[in-house]
Each structure stands twice: as C-alpha cells, then as structure tokens.
A and B are shown apart, each in its own frame.
Chain A
C-alpha cells in the first residue's frame, strides 16, 4: 500500500501511524527539514514550488519501482509545498518492511531519486537576497 501526496503541512504522527503494519518489523522514516544555513549564510525560510501533477506522477513511478525491488508493506512519499520555516519538515519518506535492510535501502533509493527527478523547486530566502537552489552551476 502506498501514499503519495503534496501537502501544505506535514503531520508526522499521522504518517507514522499510517506506516504501522503487523507484518513489519522495521519502519524507516526519513524526514528532510529546513536548515538554518546555506553557503555560510543564515537562511530565513524556504519556499517550495511544484509542477504538481508531474511531481505526483514521478513520485508514483519511483514508488512502483521500489515496490518491485523490495518487499514493502507500506510506502509513503510526502512533500510540502509553500513557505517553510527553520526546522519545519518538508519531505518525508517512509517504508515498512519485515526486516531493516530492505527498509534502509528502499528509503535511501526513494529520497535520492526524489531529489534527482521530481519536479519540485526550492528558493532559499536569506536576509538580503533569494536563491533558487541548484539552478546555476
């Protein structure tokens, strides 16, 4: 069973509850959150924009690949859009499996590929300027 969503607020407790499964001995939850610095400067907030239908489509493709590759009982990929403050969760990858190795591997695959291919963009807001992350070499 998979859950793929773009949301404005992330409810970590609700997601953890959703991941629980009687046959799962391991739950791996990756939470990406807003860091207070980048390139040695203070970050005030991050603003996320998505090409929403394509992002959902690409996240589903990654989820289906992971489901083929590992015996997953539950899989979730949740990304927040909009303005996020320091410490806020912005992305959650969660998998529930019988054994921990599958959970670690699937979770790493999903977050690495999400960062490479899912059309979501973040803008860092510093005190005096803004930067679209990864835009320029």
Chain B
C-alpha cells in the first residue's frame, strides 16, 4: 500500500509517499504507526501524528488494505 505524506513528514522521510510492502503484513492503523516509528524514529519526536483512511481520521484498531487512500497526518497548523 502507499501512504501519502505531508508537511514535516516528507522532510523526515525524504520521500513524497511511503511504500508499504504487502510482505510486512500490516493490517491495522496501529501496525502501520508502529512500522513508521520503527523505520523513521524521528517521527516519534513529533507532538503526535494521525493516520487518515479515505479522508477520515482513523482509530488505531481500524483495518486497512490496498485500495484505500491512506495518509500520514502530522500535527495540523492551518489558520
């Protein structure tokens, strides 16, 4: 699956999007968050970060799969 990146998360990862291999068997939002933190420990220094699935903020327990629009949402600062 592909994870869309925005703001500081593009700078931390040095990528425009994250490719998550299906071999990793990531099935939930929580598993995705843990994988991101393992791969990019600097993400742990952020105030927080959320995962959005199909443009809605997702709970950790939510199941995710290919074909959904998945995005990493660092702390927002609009306005």
The chain A residues found within 8 Å of chain B, CB to CB, are 32, 48-51, 53-55, 57-58, 79, 90-91, 111, 114-123, 132-137
Is A117 a contact partner of B76 (Cβ separation < 8 A)? yes
Q: Is the CB of A49 within 8 A of B6?
A: yes
Report how many A-B pairs have Cβ atoms within 8 Å. 77
Given contacts A79-B78, A111-B79, A121-B78, contact A51 B47 (CB under 8 A): no
For chain B, which range describes its interface: under 10, 10 to 19, 20 to 34, or 35 or more residues?
20 to 34
- Chain B positions within 8 Å of A, measured between CB atoms, are 4, 6-8, 11, 45-47, 52, 55-57, 71, 73-79
Chain B interface SS verdict (over half):
loop
Separation of A137 and B48 alpha carbons in the complex (Å): 9
